[in-house]
Chain A
Amino acid sequence: MIAARLLRAVAAFGRFWWDFLIGDTPEIFVVIVLALVVVGWLSLGAHAALAAGIVLPIVAVGALVHSLLRATRSR
Chain B
Amino acid sequence: MLATVVSSSAVVLVGAVFLATSVEMVEALTIVVAVGHTRGWRSALEGTAAALGVLAVLVAAFGPALVHVPLNVLRLVVGGVLLIFGLQWLRKAVLRASGFKALHDEDAIYTATVRELEALETSPQRDHVAFVMAFKGVFLEGLEVVIAVLTLGASAHRLGLAVVVSLVAIVVVGTAGVIVARQLSAVPENAMKLGVGIMLVSFGTFWSGEGLRIRWPGSDTMLLGFVALYAIVGWILIASLRARREREVAA
Contacts and interface: CB of A to CB of B under 8 A. Distances in A.
Contacts of B229: 57, 61
B241 A72 contact: yes
B100 A71 contact: yes
Given A21-B81, A21-B84, A60-B83, A68 B215 contact: no
A63 B201 CA distance: 12
Contact of B216 (A53, A64, A65, A68): A53
Main secondary structure of the interface of A (DSSP, over half): helix
Main secondary structure of the interface of B (DSSP, over half): helix
Interface string B113-125: 0000000000000
A49 B244 contact: no
Q: How large is the interface on A (under 10, 10 to 19, 20 to 34, 35 or more residues)?
A: 20 to 34
A40 interface: yes
Interface of A: 16, 20-21, 23, 25, 28-29, 32-33, 36, 39-40, 43, 49-50, 52-53, 56-57, 60-61, 63-65, 67-68, 71-72, 75
A67 B80 contact: no
B84 A56 contact: no
B90 A39 contact: no
